[in-house]
Amino acid sequence: MNKEQIIEVITRNLLENLDDLDAETIDPEASMRDYGANSLDIIEVVSSSMRELKIKVPRSELADVQNISQLADKFLEHMNS
Amino acid sequence: MNDRDILKYSLADFVYNDNPDVLSPPEDFTAWMDDPRVGLAYKFFEQPLQAAPTPRTSLRGGVDGVTRDVINLTSYNYLGLSTHPEVVQAAKDALDLYGVGASGAALLSGTFDQHELFAAELASFKQEEACVLFSSGLGGNMGAIQGMLQKGDVLVIDDKCHKSLIDGATLSGARLASFKHNDANSLDEVLTRHKGKRILVAIEGVYSMDGDLADLPAIADVCDAHGVPIYLDEAHSTLLFGENGRGIGEHFGLEDKIGVNFGTLSKSFGGVGGFVCASRALIRYMKCFASPFQFSCALPPSIVAAMRKSLEVATRDSTLRDQMWANVAYFRKNLEALNLDLGDSASQVIPIIIGSSGEQLFTMAMEAQRRGLFLQPIDFPAVEAHARRFRISVSSQLSKEDIDEACNIIEDVIARPLGTVGNSGRAGA
């Protein structure tokens, strides 16, 4: 799986958790908070995406992640490790 | 999860339980918790005190099971009211008169004359029309939010607010949104995004993990501009801030900007419970829909009688809070001499931020306890992973000797390993 596909997984889970969002509006360089996600939404999106990707990245390693693209990088790094 | 990475995981990684058996925790959680390196951290939870939560008390350590006399920097007994003779006597007298429990929910049989009197006294103290008592602080925040908001509404919180406010949003069905800590511009953006909805902004007077104050003047300006009311959680500031001890609202001279005042009885008051003060109309409505009020047994009358006495003692003059603030100043002076990172604390809650190493945090915590200091370590996810810390709660009951001894231990077990002081010791302490 490549980064683009991982972003698709994250984006789909974000869309499922947030009302009033459509896929065309989601920029990977933006943070989920920019789209109105709260801390509970983010936990849900990250957990659902990791379950789907069959990985478990420690939350402590995600603390500095600023946007969706960086989150995908972290996921990719763990999938390849 | 491989053995090498096990310490990178935290409770935040086990929120969702994938185990098909609902009676079992996640399998990887069990393996993680059973690892002795992880288990060590949890031995600092639920350590039983063997005496009153005073500055000198006795604690059975979770790591080694040894009971020690300790200097207690962890209890929230900021004004020492938990053991104040007048407060204890009031509880004893009420216990004789009313018995042990309230034996009912407040709406039915759980309201006693003590509850009625105390609610009126608290409302008067906070200069509000009415007050409702809750059996816990957490229940108070959850119940108040549930009693005010519903699906379609938005609760906007500072991103360092307490879990009880988040849970209140969940319980109410309201959308939860957060703004960057104490950042008025971020608040403005969030309020603009949700314009047109029923919105409540919730902030805390003193933030419990950092000890810093709400930037109420800036936040009130933004809320005014948007026509949105403020819910102020004064759990760690009631009885401590302001000329009359009413809290941060009084401290900033902005009480008229606060729509709802929340407080706990478990911190400065020295007991247990929560309370919400607001307009008579709102409190009457809230009581009808706040589950923690409606469906929970009321506070024991003996506790309420004791809390009435706590309010009286703490507000008859400023002696206790003056003593606490003198202790805060002396403690800070000593900690600053050790060049420790105290964050932005401006209150009786003083963090000592040590950095990102959980192993170092718990090694220090073990050594502090072995040396006779009850100083709770605070780990991720309760605080940011790069800012693990200890948290000091300064009490009015601490003596200068207690603080000196505590700082000597902190110097040896925290400051020296961190390298914030050299072998020559504290300068100017």
Give the model's pLDDT for residue B428: 42
Give the model's pLDDT for residue B129: 98
Among the residue ranges A26-40, B193-207, B305-319, the one predicted with the least confidence is: A26-40
Over residues B158-180, the mean pLDDT reads 95
Partner-chain contact B380 A40, CB within 8 Å: no
d(C-alpha B167, C-alpha B359), whole Å: 31
Give the model's pLDDT for residue B225: 98
Give the model's pLDDT for residue A63: 83
Chain A residues lying within 8 Å of B8, measured CB to CB: 58, 60-61
Amino acid at B167: D
Chain A residues with at least one Cβ partner in B under 8 Å: 33, 36, 38-40, 43, 47, 51, 56, 58-61, 63-64
Instruction: Name the pLDDT band for B224 (thresholds 50, 70, 90).
Output: very high
Over residues B205-210, the mean pLDDT reads 97
Give the model's pLDDT for residue A34: 85
**From the list A51, A56, A64, which residue is nearest B1 (CB)?**
A56
Chain A residues lying within 8 Å of B175, measured CB to CB: 38
Predicted confidence (pLDDT) per residue in A10-41, tens digit: 999 999 988 777 767 789 999 998 888 888 88
The distance of A15 to chain B (nearest Cα, Å) reads 16
CB B381 within 8 A of CB B11: yes
Residues in chain A: 81
Instruction: Name the pLDDT band for B300 (thresholds 50, 70, 90).
Output: very high
| A-B contacts (CB, under 8 Å) | 49
Residue B221 DSSP SS3: helix
Strands B154-158 and B199-204: parallel
Radius of gyration of chain B (CA): 22
Give the model's pLDDT for residue B423: 58
Instruction: Name the pLDDT band for B427 (thresholds 50, 70, 90).
Output: very low
CB B374 within 8 A of CB B57: yes
Q: Look up residue B271 and give its two tokens.
A: 């007991």
Continuous segment of H or E residues that includes residue B282: helix B280-289
Q: Is the peptide bond before B300 cis (omega within 30 degrees of 0)?
A: no
Closest CA to B9 of A68, A50, A10: A50
Q: Look up residue B364 and give its two tokens.
A: 């220090």
CB-based contact (8 Å) between B15 and chain A?
yes
Residue B134 DSSP SS3: strand
Predicted confidence (pLDDT) per residue in B121-149, tens digit: 999 999 999 999 999 999 999 999 999 99
Chain A residues lying within 8 Å of B28, measured CB to CB: 56
**From the list A39, A43, A59, which residue is nearest B178 (CB)?**
A39
User: Which residues, including other chains, have CB under 8 Å from residue B136's CB and lie 6 or more apart?
Assistant: B266, B272, B273, B274, B292, B296
Strands B349-355 and B67-72: unpaired
**From the list B5, B15, B170, which residue is nearest A58 (CB)?**
B5
Closest CA to B239 of B155, B173, B325: B325
B373 backbone dihedrals φ, ψ, rounded to 5°: -120, 125
Partner-chain contact B380 A59, CB within 8 Å: yes
Tell me how far CA of residue B93 lies from CA of A13, B111, B303, in angstroms.
Answer: 58, 18, 11
CB-based contact (8 Å) between B35 and chain A?
no
> Could you give the percent of chain A with pLDDT greater than 90?
58
Partner-chain contact B178 A38, CB within 8 Å: yes
Predicted TM-score (pTM) of the model is: 0.92
Residue B166 DSSP SS3: helix
Continuous segment of H or E residues that includes residue B388: strand B388-393
Partner-chain contact B166 A39, CB within 8 Å: yes
Tell me what the pLDDT averaged over chain B comes to. 95
More confident residue, B381 or B108: B108
CB count in 10 Å sphere of residue B247? 29
Tell me how far CA of residue B21 lies from CA of B11, B14, B24, B33, B216, in angstroms.
Answer: 20, 15, 6, 18, 47
